[in-house]
Amino acid sequence: MELVAAIDLGGTSIKAALLDSALNPVHSTRVPTRRVGEVVDVDQLGELIETLTEDATGHDGRLVGVGVVTPGIVDSDLGVVRFGANLGWRDLPLRERLIERTKLPMRIGHDVRAGGLAEFTVGAAVGVRNAIFMPVGTGIAAALMVDGHELHATGYAGEIGHAVVDPNGPLCGCGQRGCLEAIGSAGAIARIYAERCGEPVSGALEVATRMQAGDEVAARVWDEAIRALATALTTAVVLLAPEVIVIGGGLAESGDVLFGPLRRELESRLTFHRRPQVVAAALGDGASRTGAGLLAWRAVREASS
């Protein structure tokens, strides 16, 4: 049985799996990300792939390709991680480094775009040619598909979290003021509510729960987040005309309390435009790993053609 390794590298942990050609995991593992000083150790990925090669043999299989996805600015055509803030990487030729060591067909991708690829191929937006995948968690980014093509722009496309939605808004981690991520992310909702109330909360879902219990501060923070998300998505709809917008990440777990008002707010801003369906992600936090598997199978096909 031919298997691929799907590896989702994060700043704190690495999620990896061996997937068959139908993307079913036959083995999965999770290890803490290893650093040398501030920099994530590339050799750990090489070692992990060697271990997965042995695991594949243990499952009566053979490892035939690898897909690795990372956060940051990733040029997936060249396999170079241009900039990974929480990895400590700059212009790292990751694909070349890993091929040198493993000699396997290999593709490098961006974690959110890979998650989008998975949602567009086997998840919540199957069968459409124009779609946006936007996970809303600590940060916000988007995967964009137009006319069946995934937009990459050498790794710079999709940074919707850093679209300014309020020039007088709070400071963003990127240095700008009023980015979507600084108002509408799950992290921002919890942070802004805690600032205004003077007491910490466990996260955005707790803010939603407090709002439903009649907390007016929570209602205002939630409403500002919804309007920020709708502002950025309206621009995306006007430019890209998606048929489906897939919302993922931690905030999507709040369900109707997010989707109801977000759909209404977005609808109120559109006139002649094509109405997108706004739906919850189908693959949860396994989307990026499944996307890494799809990239790995692409690498295998390319190597054999």
The residue (of 132 and 179) whose beta carbon lies closer to Zn ion is 179
Q: Rounded to the nearest whole angstrom, what is the least distance from the CB of residue 191 to Zn ion in the complex?
A: 14
Angle among Cα 111, 115, 117 to the nearest 5 degrees reads 115
E-strand stretches of the chain: 2-9, 13-19, 25-32, 35-36, 39-40, 62-70, 73-75, 80-84, 89-92, 106-110, 131-135, 143-146, 149-150, 244-248, 277-280
Q: Rounded to the nearest whole angstrom, what is the least distance from the CB of residue 178 to Zn ion in the complex?
A: 8
Q: Rounded to the nearest whole angstrom, what is the least distance from the CB of residue 177 to Zn ion in the complex?
A: 9
Cα dihedral 14→20→22→28 (10° resolution): -30
Angle among Cα 110, 202, 205 to the nearest 5 degrees reads 70
For residue 255, the one-letter residue type is G
| Binding residues vs Zn ion (CB under 5 A) | 162, 172, 174, 176, 179
Residue 228, phi then psi, degrees to nearest 5: -65, -45
Q: Rounded to the nearest whole angstrom, what is the least distance from the CB of residue 231 to Zn ion in the complex?
A: 14
Q: Rounded to the nearest whole angstrom, what is the least distance from the CB of residue 158 to Zn ion in the complex?
A: 13
Q: How far apart are CA 40 and CA 112, in angstroms?
A: 19
The residue (of 179 and 188) whose beta carbon lies closer to Zn ion is 179
The full length of the chain comes to 305
Q: Rounded to the nearest whole angstrom, what is the least distance from the CB of residue 136 to Zn ion in the complex?
A: 14
The residue (of 68 and 183) whose beta carbon lies closer to Zn ion is 183
The residue (of 6 and 112) whose beta carbon lies closer to Zn ion is 112
SS3 (DSSP) at 156: coil
Q: Output the CA–CA distances (angstroms, integers) from residue 67 to 3, 125, 189, 227, in the order listed.
A: 11, 22, 33, 36
Q: Rounded to the nearest whole angstrom, what is the least distance from the CB of residue 132 to Zn ion in the complex?
A: 19
SS3 (DSSP) at 278: strand
The residue (of 163 and 287) whose beta carbon lies closer to Zn ion is 163
The residue (of 25 and 170) whose beta carbon lies closer to Zn ion is 170
The residue (of 3 and 140) whose beta carbon lies closer to Zn ion is 140
